[in-house]
Structure 1
């Protein structure tokens, strides 16, 4: 184990045993380095690694603190993993997204408030403006697509599921998906599928919501290029 790994492991253990809690300020550099029996250089490297992972946050001139350690923050680096994959990996990641969002839709069907349903409805109503133009504004369509799926995930009642969906279906991933989708009329078809999902949610029917979401995302999956066809 490298010295940097020892720092990461040491601070992790301090959090797990309650020595450090969310929001706590880390001891001064010299004291923490002595406690972990590492050099200050190794300590800085370990702190930097934990900051990238969302475990620590350094405030200029004020010290380093343990973050809230919420799921959204800790899972956010996963989005970087997806960003670094080539297009050939999209189908595999998208299939995981399908599993996550299908379950989120089923959970949301029994948990969405009237206000949440109205919010999702308002998002879908924006699509008419996008599709009515002589040329589809793809960037705007992507934003609406993200907003609709985000409302559903947010009302699944499971913050971990919501955070995973955000990582697997953030803006960069969505933009890459739409870049490789070339089917004519794909936007109108997607809008129709979103409408079907919304109706299932409004009917408070979890099974229908799961089926509609799964069908929608399977449809997207069908249009993704297979790895063996990427060089054609």
Structure 2
């Protein structure tokens, strides 16, 4: 076919980009929906006027982006197009940032989480309030006994912030928040909180946030969350970490431990 040998005009989309753009338009228009199977390769290539090689290249790119998935022997399907999967590349990018750029990520996180707290204040269910209380109660117990290690605190903190983000009811907002708090950045925060020796202060902030959420006052919840995260941001700016901490935490005794939180639970 002519399209297999002729180049696209200068300045236009490449053949594979043409396919990507077409598939995107098919999804946006509703012609293709989450879970749908794409036309067979030969038919789709002919429909778009591209070679099967260009089509495969485009499919691989869309699969990498989390838009398509190829099932061996069964064809290519549109994924569920959930925000978490599609924003995975943002998480990868955030994890590549150098330590001195962590403050920038924390500033963006502050903006996003401030809004998520405001939305969550009017949407949290009683069951979700109980979950948040349980998380903080475990920190209370650790602080009383003196057995709370920094990595355990950060895991609990991750769950606390993640659940508030989910309770915002905005899946895109929640996914953005999770994507910006990478394992690398969590490692840097582990170092900062250890050197600062401020578990009690940060926990008091959490208690203030939960109390504000319980009032159902969106603006009060935003203020409490913003104040908490601004404190983290300012400390990170004043105490830059030169060396990254490995993703696995190092306990005070030097033994490596792994996080018990899910990959999406992330914050301090």
- TM-score after normalising by structure 1: 0.89
Are residue 169 (structure 1) and residue 181 (structure 2) matched?
yes
8 Å contact from structure 2 (residues 150, 193) kept in 1: no
Query: What displacement does 1:121 show?
Result: 0.4
Q: Aligned residue for 2:167?
A: 155
| 2-structure distance, mates of 1:229, 1:201 | 32
Q: Aligned residue for 1:13?
A: 25
Query: What displacement does 1:179 show?
Result: 3.0
Q: Aligned residue for 1:196?
A: 208
Query: What displacement does 1:186 show?
Result: 2.1
More helix by share: 1
Query: What displacement does 1:50 show?
Result: 0.9
Larger radius of gyration: 2
Q: Aligned residue for 2:137?
A: 125
The one of 36, 49, 68 equivalent to 2:48 is 36
| 2-structure distance, mates of 1:21, 1:103 | 30
Q: Report the 3-state secondary structure (helix = DSSP H, G, I; strand = E; otherwise coil) of the residue aligned with 1:77.
A: helix
| 1-structure distance, mates of 2:130, 2:45 | 53
Q: Aligned residue for 1:2?
A: 14
Query: What displacement does 1:108 show?
Result: 0.9
Q: Aligned residue for 1:214?
A: 226
Query: What displacement does 1:183 show?
Result: 3.9
8 Å contact from structure 2 (residues 139, 148) kept in 1: no
Q: Aligned residue for 1:24?
A: 36
Higher mean displacement: 111-120 or 71-80: 71-80
Unaligned runs of 5+ in 2: 1-12, 244-268
| 2-structure distance, mates of 1:130, 1:24 | 49
Higher mean displacement: 111-120 or 72-81: 72-81
Render the CA deviation track for 1:3-50: whole Å, top value 9, x for unaligned. Answer: 221221121122223332211001111212222222222222211111
Are residue 63 (structure 1) and residue 75 (structure 2) matched?
yes
Matches within 5 A, 1:106-145: 106-131=118-143, 136-145=148-157
| 2-structure distance, mates of 1:177, 1:2 | 43
| 2-structure distance, mates of 1:177, 1:46 | 39
| Aligned length, in residue pairs | 231
Unaligned runs of 5+ in 1: none
* TM-align CA RMSD: 2.3
| 2-structure distance, mates of 1:25, 1:75 | 22
Q: Aligned residue for 2:6?
A: none
- TM-score after normalising by structure 2: 0.78
Q: Report the 3-state secondary structure (helix = DSSP H, G, I; strand = E; otherwise coil) of the residue aligned with 1:48.
A: helix
Render the CA deviation track for 1:187-225: whole Å, top value 9, x for unaligned. Answer: 221111101101111122222211111111011001114
| 2-structure distance, mates of 1:227, 1:128 | 27
8 Å contact from structure 2 (residues 94, 182) kept in 1: no
| 2-structure distance, mates of 1:60, 1:177 | 42
